[in-house]
């Protein structure tokens, strides 16, 4: 039984922080940031847990499908920045939605979170364990990013998405077709948050040493991301006997514009087939792939039957590539219940309180 994405929703905080504003604080230039990352702005939540971002995205997703929260069988939340270590953020989201019949859990795979959770949800549907899986991805990366670190503070943004998975209908060729996943257990210190877990519990010392923020070896992560994303994509295409001419869209993790361009060159995907919105959102970790999917769908770029390849890479190092056929019909009209934070390029994306 093939699992298909039948609805999607997304949410971003209304406060956009430009690279020019960060540049002034970090004693660099706007062009210095843009040339290294491709990012012009990112959206930052001022307060609240990631569940407050996820719930509006989930509500939009459910309402687009024309169902209620009680129709959902399982809630999965992919996140690096849960509200708490426990209870799972999925339980908090489920309670806020009123999804009384569902069960749920969190999935932690860093920036590969959505891709890994998509395959878990697919498995639940394929085995008949669930018929409707609400797969949420949400990040408040600003909560774990050191504002004084120019290597990380320029990269990350906050956002949330939700997709609804259901069994593909008998006459629908859409859904998840194939996937490849791998974890390369390298030195954790290349990309990690040193304190806050059981290996180094929070203490006065860990706070004073700013060990509750993301730390990374930028050049090492850059090289590994290019190799991982391009390698996984090439394996997937070869396994399915696909050439780049056979796919309609390549949607990689929105880590860094230079990484995206390098991967596309290695795989041979032309620029017009690469979906990217990193310029306006930055790196939103587990949310980056579905946020790009949502925007491409709302623009009318994604059409039913399109062949799509997703590619993820995250701390661990976790990585994957997924081949799917798009199942959703085009939007009939903009959803009047949603509000636009800019009314132009990025469509009518739901905004949430700062």
Query: What are the catalytic residues?
Result: 111, 253, 283
Cα–Cα distances in Å, from 282 out to 18, 164, 266, 294? 10, 24, 23, 15
Give which of 279, 349, 294, 284 is closest to 41, Cα–Cα.
279
How far apart are the C-alpha atoms of 33 and 81, rounded to whole Å? Answer: 24
Residue that has been written with the tokens 């050191």 in this structure: 146
Torsions phi, psi for 323 (to 5 deg): -110, 125
User: If 0-12 CB within 10 Å is exposed, 13-18 middle and 19+ buried, where does residue 196 land?
Assistant: middle
CA torsion 171-330-44-47 (nearest 10°) is -70
Query: How, if at all, do strands 133-140 and 307-314 pair?
Result: unpaired
């Amino acid at each position: 039984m093939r699992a298909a994405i039948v609805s999607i929703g997304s949410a971003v905080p209304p406060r956009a922080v430009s690279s020019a504003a960060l540049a002034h604080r970090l004693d660099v230039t706007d062009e210095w940031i843009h040339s290294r990352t491709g990012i012009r702005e990112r959206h930052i939540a001022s307060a609240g847990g990631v569940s407050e971002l996820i719930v509006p995205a989930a509500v939009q997703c459910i309402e687009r499908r024309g169902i209620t929260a009680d129709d959902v069988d399982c809630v999965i939340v992919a996140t690096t920045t849960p509200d708490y270590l426990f209870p799972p953020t999925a339980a908090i989201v489920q309670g806020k939605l009123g999804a009384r019949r569902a069960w749920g859990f969190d999935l932690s795979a860093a920036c590969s979170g959505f891709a890994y959770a998509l395959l878990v949800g697919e498995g639940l549907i394929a085995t008949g364990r669930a018929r409707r899986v609400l797969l949420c991805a949400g990040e408040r990366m600003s909560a774990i990013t050191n504002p004084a670190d120019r290597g990380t503070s320029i990269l990350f943004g906050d956002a949330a998405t939700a997709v609804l998975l259901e069994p593909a209908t008998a006459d629908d060729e859409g859904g998840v077709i194939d996937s490849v996943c791998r974890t390369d257990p390298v030195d954790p210190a290349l990309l990690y948050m040193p304190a806050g877990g059981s290996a180094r519990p929070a203490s006065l010392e860990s706070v004073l040493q700013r060990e509750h923020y993301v730390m990374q070896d930028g050049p090492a992560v850059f090289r590994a991301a290019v190799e991982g994303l391009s390698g996984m994509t090439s394996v997937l295409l070869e396994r399915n006997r696909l050439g780049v001419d056979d796919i309609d869209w390549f949607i990689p993790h929105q880590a860094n514009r230079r990484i995206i361009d390098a991967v596309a060159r290695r795989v041979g995907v032309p620029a017009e087939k690469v979906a990217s919105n990193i310029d306006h959102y930055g790196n939103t970790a587990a949310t980056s792939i579905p946020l790009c999917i949502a925007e491409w769908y709302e623009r009318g770029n994604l059409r039913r039957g399109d062949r799509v390849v997703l590619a993820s890479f995250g701390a661990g190092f976790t990585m994957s590539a997924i081949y799917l056929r798009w199942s959703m019909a085009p939007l009939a009209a903009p959803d009047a219940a949603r509000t636009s934070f800019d009314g132009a390029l990025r469509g009518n994306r739901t905004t949430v309180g700062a």
